[in-house]
Amino acid sequence: MTPRLRCGVRLTYDRTRQTHVLLFPEGVLVPNATAAAVLELCDGERTVPDIAAALGERYAGVREGDVGDVLARLVDRQVVEWA
Amino acid sequence: MGVTEEVQGVRPPLGMLAELTHRCPLHCPYCSNPVELVTRERELGTEEWCSVLDQARDLGVLQVHLSGGEPLARPDLPELVTRASGLGCYVSLVTSGLGLTEARLADLVDRGLAHVQLSVQGADAARANLLAGAKAHDHKLTAAALVKRFELPLSVNVVLHRANHDQLEGMIALAERMGADRLELANTQFYGWALRNRDALLPTREQLAAAEPVVRAAIERLKGSMQVVYVLSDYYEQYPKPCMSGWGAQQLTVAPDGTVLPCPAATAITTLPLENVRERPLAEIWYDSESFNAYRGEDWMREPCRTCERRTVDFGGCRCQAFQLTGDAAATDPVCRRSPDRGLVDVLLEPPHGSGEFVMRGVR
């Protein structure tokens, strides 16, 4: 199970608002810093443990469960799907 | 744990509707563009549109809807797609589908087009062509197939009215066959040309009652595969729509001649001093113009809006509708049951309804 952005969803950095934004048909979501860090690693190749490990190299105290939690919410928002 | 940030305070715009041209191969009676269209000679040129796109991105615009009329009528459309997507915007093409060939779409996708919104007038060719005033339906089937072949998200937009409500189920099925990711079922909102045809287009109470369970079932059944959005017929509602999510709050529209509108229908408010990108930078118009500040926030509100607990929900409704029906753009939207002018709407809902004969949108 490897998460990826759904068809038509794009993650980009908005320099006006100085934040990452998720763009999709008729919508804009502003992910918080944690969600943005996870989203950047959702390439359809990495698994949840891969993502947690990659984040662990940059931040202290990253737990796989928390990453899964964030992903579940992004799936609920229909911006991420499981490949 | 949440996944989004709340943004506070006065915000830059998120989206821009770029009406590249008013020229259109369809003649839909429900057209919400103004009765008086911008002629080709007065349209912004390529360099002017590029500047508008640059300014819009600087201002904070993330969603760019290339619309019209039919945006494919502009030979410089590919160039504008390149510009907008190069700036980092999410670029949607809002089209009738006419003129969308494989070669043209391949090029637009290559240039960064992100999403296509396709209009559909009816469930079958006979009805759809009658309502579009053109042999359009088969072109739309082709266009939808192309969009899916290029793996772009596809939105299908259906404007509902008295002359197609009976085909609601068929149009939902059509959108499914087209592989739409999103389906907008929008009851006609009465602006521009559509207002002229209101008597003939306003759905009946019976039609809306019949539609409700059909839409509810479709939303449930298609959850996860096709998002179904239903836009109510506001005349029949108790409270007004939250028009534009508030005036000058999230969106702006640039008309074909460069007029900058707080709402696509705002030319209807003849008392509003509109400004043009040919004369003033877009950022100044967004932040400082009289037109964008006229109905921003709550200071402009009078009773019953001023003290109403719903003012943060619907922002007093639609300014254009208030002007059209009462002559005063600062009045409460007369759709609201708390409006002293609600009677103006109620009288329109009472049978007998008009003959059902509408006037097609002319070429000009």
Query: Which helix (H) or strand (E) segment is A46 a member of?
Result: none
Binding site members of B for [4Fe-4S] cluster: 24, 28, 31
Cβ contacts (< 8 Å) between A16 and chain B: which residues?
12, 57-60
Scan residues 320-349 of B and list those with Cβ closer than 8 Å to A.
none
The answer, for B59 touching chain A at a CB cutoff of 8 Å, is: yes
pLDDT digit string, tens, across residues B103-118:
999 999 999 999 999 9
pLDDT digit string, tens, across residues B289-346:
999 999 999 999 999 999 999 999 999 999 999 999 999 999 999 999 999 999 999 9
Cross-chain CB nearest to B114 (options A8, A13, A70) = A8
- B144-170 average pLDDT score: 98
pLDDT surpassing 80 at residue B230: yes
Q: Which residue out of B3, B59, B184 would a mutagenesis test of the A interface target, given it has the greatest number of A Cβ atoms within 10 Å? A: B3
B181/A7 CB distance under 8 A: yes
Supply the pTM of this predicted model. 0.94
Looking at the complex, report in whole angstroms how far the Cα of residue B339 sits from the nearest Cα belonging to chain A.
Answer: 31
Cross-chain CB nearest to B62 (options A14, A31, A69) = A14
pLDDT reported for residue B353: 77
pLDDT surpassing 80 at residue B61: yes
Q: Which residue of B has its CA nearest to A35?
A: B3
pLDDT reported for residue B224: 84
Q: Does residue A83 sit within a domain?
A: no
Cβ contacts (< 8 Å) between B151 and chain A: which residues?
7
Q: Does residue A45 sit within a domain?
A: yes
Structure-block tokens of residue B69: 């009329």
Q: Does residue A39 sit within a domain?
A: yes
pLDDT reported for residue B93: 98
pLDDT reported for residue B41: 97
pLDDT surpassing 70 at residue B1: no
The Cα-based distances of B140 to B100, B143, B350 in angstroms read: 9, 5, 36
Cross-chain CB nearest to A23 (options B5, B7, B62) = B62
Spatial strand order in the sheet of A27-29: A10-14, A19-24, A27-29
Cross-chain CB nearest to A7 (options B14, B58, B153) = B153
pLDDT digit string, tens, across residues B163-173:
999 999 999 99
Q: Does residue A50 sit within a domain?
A: yes
pLDDT surpassing 60 at residue B37: yes
Q: What is the CATH number of the domain that holds A9?
A: 1.10.10.1150
pLDDT digit string, tens, across residues B249-301:
999 999 999 999 999 999 999 999 999 999 999 999 999 999 999 999 999 99
Q: How confident is the model at residue B358 (pLDDT cuts 50, 70, 90)?
A: very high
Binding site members of B: 24, 28, 31
B62/A28 CB distance under 8 A: yes
Q: Which residue of B has its CA nearest to A65?
A: B1
- B156-167 average pLDDT score: 98
| Domain that includes residue A32, residue range | 3-78
Cβ contacts (< 8 Å) between B7 and chain A: which residues?
17, 30
Scan residues 7-66 of A and list those with Cβ closer than 8 Å to B.
7-8, 10, 12-14, 16-17, 19, 21, 23-32, 34-35, 66
pLDDT surpassing 80 at residue B24: yes
pLDDT digit string, tens, across residues A60-77:
889 999 999 999 999 998
B117/A7 CB distance under 8 A: no
Q: Does residue A28 sit within a domain?
A: yes
Q: What percent of chain B has pLDDT over 90?
A: 94
Cross-chain CB nearest to B92 (options A17, A25, A34) = A25
Q: How confident is the model at residue B16 (pLDDT cuts 50, 70, 90)?
A: very high
Cβ contacts (< 8 Å) between B182 and chain A: which residues?
25-26
B181/A32 CB distance under 8 A: no
Domains contained in chain A, number: 1
Question: pLDDT 10s per residue in chain A (83 long)?
Answer: 899 999 899 999 998 999 999 999 988 999 999 999 999 999 999 999 999 999 999 988 899 999 999 999 999 988 999 98
A77/B155 CB distance under 8 A: no
pLDDT reported for residue B10: 65
A70/B3 CB distance under 8 A: yes
Q: How confident is the model at residue B364 (pLDDT cuts 50, 70, 90)?
A: very low
